[in-house]
Amino acid sequence: MVYHEQYSRYAGMVEETLEKLLPGTDEICPKTEGVIPEHLCASMRYSLMAGGKRIRPVLLLAACEMLGGDLEQAKTPAAALEMIHTYSLIHDDLPGMDNDDYRRGRLTNHKVYGVGHAILAGDGLLNYAYECLLENAAAYPENLRGHMLAAKAIANRAGVRGMIAGQSLDLLSEHMEPDAERLLYIHTHKTADLLTAPLLAAAYIAGASEEQIDALRRFGFCVGIAFQIDDDLLDVEGDAALLGKQTGMDAQRGKMTWPALVGVAAAKERSARLWDEAEEALGIFGERAAFMHGFAAQMRTRKS
Ligand code: GRG
């Protein structure tokens, strides 16, 4: 199967699983009783089903298949990871953080549902993700350890030693003189950690070897840093219509970015080197890594 067909196949599984897992209309309570207030449910769904690229869950499914794991067991963890990613975007857009008006080509969550409900929608997605992960683990008692390690890897990379740590330093570094060590910390945690999480989760679910886990960790790190450098470059040179969000915002906010540290040309070189390194890390998987190579080839030229 060619790369694009394979990507659509995985992304289709993600959409289907998200639809299956999301609270249904039978759970929505328009008044005060019942399970979930309608406004909350709508705000969660608004951002989650807004047409994101689904990169992280696709990576989880692809890695699981590459390692010979059971895709059925990986579908809910993949969807849960997309919920966590979406929560982070909703909160990142809030006035107290990046204060953005557009995301995924539409108004940001707080612009539509209000700041209070954007916070709650993010909190809701985060908690619901772990509820889904735990329920899924309990459904596979024969692979409970694999699922527990997968859930822990996700919690760790999304949490206070991971994405939240990166976001914290990102906020604290606004209007500071760019510094390479600090910038690498921000990129490692804010971005790379949530791209490594699906690879590690898949590895645990599929029972991968230590050598395979190390290779996936290296691949995830290189992909993550390259992805963030490209994101910084797109903010400088990208097309707002294709990106679905405003450009030029990093400079306006005084963000510490790779182009601010070394300039656009050197940032492009660094990104290209990292994409090469990412593909080198896949060596031990041989031909089974065809999709991952396709992913790297596609991502290094992305425009959105
Ligand atoms: C609020 C705890 C907390 C964290 C926020 C995700 C994030 C951390 C900030 C968003 C800003 C940013 C540039 C993050 C780096 C990762 C990134 C480029 C996210 C966008 O991911 P895509 O391109 O988005 O996969 P879609 O919309 O396609 O899912």
Does residue 139 contact residue 279 with C-beta atoms inside 8 Å?
Answer: no
Which residue has a Cα nearest atom 29 of ligand 1? 52
Q: How far apart are CA 12 and CA 200, in angstroms?
A: 22
Instruction: Give residue 90 CA to ligand 1 midpoint distance, Å.
Output: 9
* Whole-number pLDDT of residue 45: 94
Is the beta carbon of 255 within 6 A of some atom in ligand 1? no
Tell me the per-residue pLDDT of 242-257, one tens digit each, with 9 for 90 and over. 888 889 989 998 999 9
* Whole-number pLDDT of residue 31: 54
| DSSP code for 188 | I
End-to-end C-alpha distance for the chain, whole angstroms: 24
* Whole-number pLDDT of residue 304: 83
> Which atom of ligand 1 is nearest to 55's Cα?
25
Q: How far apart are CA 304 and CA 122, in angstroms?
A: 23
Which residue has a Cα nearest atom 20 of ligand 1? 89
- In this structure, the chain runs to a length of 304
Instruction: Give residue 295 CA to ligand 1 midpoint distance, Å.
Output: 18
Does residue 301 contact residue 228 with C-beta atoms inside 8 Å?
Answer: no
Q: Which residue has the higher pLDDT, 51 or 15?
A: 15
Is the beta carbon of 55 within 6 A of some atom in ligand 1? yes
* Whole-number pLDDT of residue 173: 95
Is the beta carbon of 47 within 6 A of some atom in ligand 1? no
Is the beta carbon of 162 within 6 A of some atom in ligand 1? no
CA–CA distances in Å: residue 265 to residues 180, 230, 258, 270, 300 = 16, 12, 10, 9, 15
Is the beta carbon of 109 within 6 A of some atom in ligand 1? no
Confirm whether pTM is higher than 0.85: yes
Instruction: Give residue 144 CA to ligand 1 midpoint distance, Å.
Output: 30
Residue 1: pLDDT band with limits 50, 70, 90: confident
